[in-house]
Structure 1
């Protein structure tokens, strides 16, 4: 796990200033405190910050191939590198180190871009071929590792593991993209198809770019996609055996490290499953770390303690309280772009805790996307059955009218909060699911924007690319399309961004075994009845893990890594909430209606509405913009 940065000239072999590459690397020094390196040649410069995990002394970067004809900077881990090394060595390739970086170089020289499907793991890398004078930029299948790029006015392409690496280059323009603001308010993050700054791009998951000197930068190429178009055949028992094998394989392959290794443990199904499988594969106690909250209704630490005792782990726990709000400026600095998933705060705290004891931590992220574990996916599955029974011409006027009349009941028991479901049923499945996932609905955003911003936004709506992702999904059903969109849109934009930035901020490597691509592909082929059954998601996974985990962990209502922001903004942080409407940074943009922001704040603090997520979005937007412009 590391940080990479570099410069590539697409208009000739102009020299690259190594001090600029070094400045870009220094901006992401937190990602790699164990070493650094810079390499330049006519037209190209590569930089690296290293967090040593495997082959601690023998794999410095930038790394040259055995014959010196290619150079690599690499962020991530290749879990099948030993098998690839044996295969390549049998074909005559030479190796001088014991790590995975040199295997990537050899794989490129043997197979070219066709090496990418052979790499199992998480990665973002830049590989320069001195003979072909090409630069390959590549990102792993599911987007676990990030890669930002930008083309400057002189035609050079700069890249880095985080936006702050690009910001260290003096020629990067710092102009906010107003469409990114629309995206951010809709989703709570800036999705991978856009960046907060105009001209900056994120290389999409499962894509690569092959750059050449003296040529216009080519478009990205997709080298991997997930398909829900096929179905596994077999009995529930047989498919369960197959799933368990895949789970074991995914976890055990991610337990190799030459440094201390442990796991995040929330006490939910996914992290508990990972810990159970780690304990099964380990000869020593697993090191586990968990975070609790000072609001009892949202605290899951007792479940984590139950799992820790069950598997006799070396368990470490800490609490998050309202005073952790003081971290907000540090959080904004970690993400560069505005990022309003409030669970980033406890995620950072658990990463801090873990780093005191280990250098690598396994997480439970990915199972909800792969096996339909989100409540919204289960609801969508049920709504799709209604849609099949009632035509759109009947649903739209019926449910649209009911949804418009039904009150917003933020604090009522969940079964009574039917407004969102009614409004969703009035739309087609793709639009309905986009509405279910959005943090802020289109009509609410419309009311928040100023007339000037509405002109800047034009006809664009944040839901449009999400709906299009669902429509083009290789899928059979509405549930398939929802999971596909979560894997391609929500997972890299929110979940993996959160874990990458918070873990790397403390130089901790986070690994996601439940995102092993073979496991995800198997989940996508499962019959719907083995993903959702009787209103429960992740059905087959839960049945398989009953051999190891108690039912009170497997079948309790899903909570997620929820932060008590609503309570904090109504109590000890009410003053911070009231300050949002008067923010000088937001006021300078001229994008928002300050009166509407005050009304939202007053309604939340008085308890007549729960506007905490939206208020938190504006808090994080305010802090992020202050650091960018």
Structure 2
């Protein structure tokens, strides 16, 4: 895994890229690749790279060039089918100087141009400079496992990087806050692609390419892949469970190629346990596994990880961490560069720290819930969907809307007893209801939170636009498949993969995610939705397929998640710190928030009247961003 960066002068071919500046920018992502660094300059172009050596350690340095030096690449990721591609390209007459997957991309570009990405199986973000074509070509993998940020400056410079902090190191980049991103952040807990917190900085969306041609002012951005919903159920009519295991085993096997120590995260949940079970059958040596244990029973599932480790005789190591792991709070804001509100970033950081002590590459179970419908919220949504399908919106909206207003709030109760939330969902369309169920702060809470000025400057913008945009591209009418698709486009990439990438790269650790193999996903789309969510059982077909490999104790226990006791912290050891953060002068003077509502949230939570822990954590992470990423001397404008 690596870090990439570059500067490209769009119009001036003879312009000189500032060597000292690009070097400094590249050094801000040293953690992504501590083994080596490389920079290439020529008129109008500068490419930079930090390397974490995984494959072809001796000769895989970057930037890497073709035979005559006319094509250069900087690449972050792994191409798992590169050996087959290499052989295909050799038969076409190409000569390789290295054994790296990076060089394979160079010749794939020369052979197939922009279509090269369709030949790649893996996780990647790369930039190719083709001097003969006078083009800069950038691509991001299909699911967004690897990040890519870009910006165009008023000076005519286009720049890109693996992390936002790299671009922020450029003195000419304006730090104008993009106000719709504030609405999105307090809805989702992260800022969905393609936007960032800054008006002039963007993320390249998953499954997209970007092409810049010298002399043309605007980049051309194109999709090259999307989750396919053209089902061919006859392909898996029989032996579905056996086919699933075969597909999963293939996805895992190709991710086990490494010249450095390799292992797996093992939480004791279904997905990570499945990965370990498959790995154990694919190698002779014991699998290296690691897990985090918590010193508080309600958040500790290490006993289940130990059960799997014992079953497969893994080299297992575990570290018990205090749930009161407060020292990471300020570090998180610097790690993510923009507001990011998933508190599980804390244990994720610690498990990556633990893994790096033994291995350089780990396989993870991330993505299993999205691909095979494992989240509990899918069950809730589909239960409500049965009601929505029988009653027209014209009836549901006024009736259930009124009940939602009148019914008392019961956020202290289990979800099944929170009728207020259910009524509110039933009064909405399916897409609106799903947004309501995943929102950190719902519509009314955001309206109460935001200042009159912010609401005015938002000019009616609402986060539902994110879901509507993706829903319009979803090629299925099935309600379960639709919300899986929405999660793959938003929560998976904006929250889960972002969390894992930054936490792992902070420790120079590579994480591979076999459940997000695009061939596995394409196969899974042929599985009927009823086999993913079967009655009230999520990931049904996956669990059935794994029954010969894992105990029912692992497969069918209640899902715990990777949580920390935020509600308890804010009433106890972080009580004063919470007040100092959420009610800080910077927050109150920012112009974004209703000060009275901020005080209400803090007071109600700390008195025990309400549980506002999710909202308060989201606010505290926003304050940390304002305080640490936007320094006091930064020129921050407010842009709608």
Deviation at 1:554, TM superposition (A): 0.8
Cross-structure match for 1:424: 425
Cross-structure match for 2:440: 439
Deviation at 1:610, TM superposition (A): 1.1
Contact 2:582 2:623 in 1 (8 A): no
Deviation at 1:455, TM superposition (A): 1.6
Contact 1:371 1:524 in 2 (8 A): no
Q: TM (normalized to structure 1)?
A: 0.98
Cross-structure match for 2:575: 574
Give the secondary-structure state (helix, strand or coil) at the position aligned to 1:541. Answer: helix
Deviation at 1:291, TM superposition (A): 1.2
Give the secondary-structure state (helix, strand or coil) at the position aligned to 1:566. Answer: helix
Contact 1:267 1:307 in 2 (8 A): yes
Cross-structure match for 2:416: 415
Deviation at 1:21, TM superposition (A): 1.4
1:217, 1:371 → 2: CA distance?
Answer: 39
Tell me, which stretches of 5 or more residues in structure 2 are unaligned?
A: 631-640
Deviation at 1:453, TM superposition (A): 1.2
Contact 1:187 1:437 in 2 (8 A): yes
Alignment of 1:455-604 (within 5 A): 455-604=456-605
Cross-structure match for 2:361: 360
1:24, 1:589 → 2: CA distance?
Answer: 29
Cross-structure match for 1:193: 194
Tell me the matched-pair count.
629
Give the secondary-structure state (helix, strand or coil) at the position aligned to 1:579. Answer: helix
Tell me, which stretches of 5 or more residues in structure 1 are unaligned?
A: none
2:615, 2:332 → 1: CA distance?
Answer: 17
1:121, 1:199 → 2: CA distance?
Answer: 29
Alignment of 1:93-112 (within 5 A): 93-112=94-113
Deviations 1:556-591 (A, max 9, x none): 111211221112112211112222343122123121
Contact 1:227 1:475 in 2 (8 A): no
Q: After superposing the two structures, state which structure 1 stretch, 155-164 or 571-580, moved more.
A: 571-580
1:479, 1:231 → 2: CA distance?
Answer: 18
Deviation at 1:606, TM superposition (A): 1.8
Contact 2:583 2:598 in 1 (8 A): no
1:494, 1:415 → 2: CA distance?
Answer: 25
Deviations 1:15-68 (A, max 9, x none): 212212111100111000000010011111000000000011111000011332
Contact 1:566 1:612 in 2 (8 A): yes
2:381, 2:429 → 1: CA distance?
Answer: 11
Contact 2:296 2:323 in 1 (8 A): no
Give the secondary-structure state (helix, strand or coil) at the position aligned to 1:220. Answer: strand
Contact 1:450 1:592 in 2 (8 A): yes
Deviations 1:317-362 (A, max 9, x none): 1233244111111111110001110000000000000000000011
2:232, 2:220 → 1: CA distance?
Answer: 33
Deviation at 1:418, TM superposition (A): 2.6
Cross-structure match for 2:637: none
Cross-structure match for 2:122: 121
Contact 1:434 1:467 in 2 (8 A): no
1:259, 1:59 → 2: CA distance?
Answer: 14
Deviation at 1:469, TM superposition (A): 1.4
Cross-structure match for 1:23: 24
Q: Which runs of 4+ in 1 moved over 4 A?
A: 234-237
Deviation at 1:231, TM superposition (A): 4.3
Are 2:83 and 1:82 equivalent residues in the alignment? yes
Deviation at 1:237, TM superposition (A): 4.8
1:94, 1:8 → 2: CA distance?
Answer: 28
Cross-structure match for 2:11: 11
1:293, 1:607 → 2: CA distance?
Answer: 24
Cross-structure match for 2:216: 215
Cross-structure match for 1:333: 334
Q: After superposing the two structures, state which structure 1 stretch, 408-417 or 617-626, moved more.
A: 408-417
Q: After superposing the two structures, state which structure 1 stretch, 23-32 or 450-459, moved more.
A: 450-459
Q: After superposing the two structures, state which structure 1 stretch, 231-240 or 605-614, moved more.
A: 231-240
Are 2:84 and 1:60 equivalent residues in the alignment? no
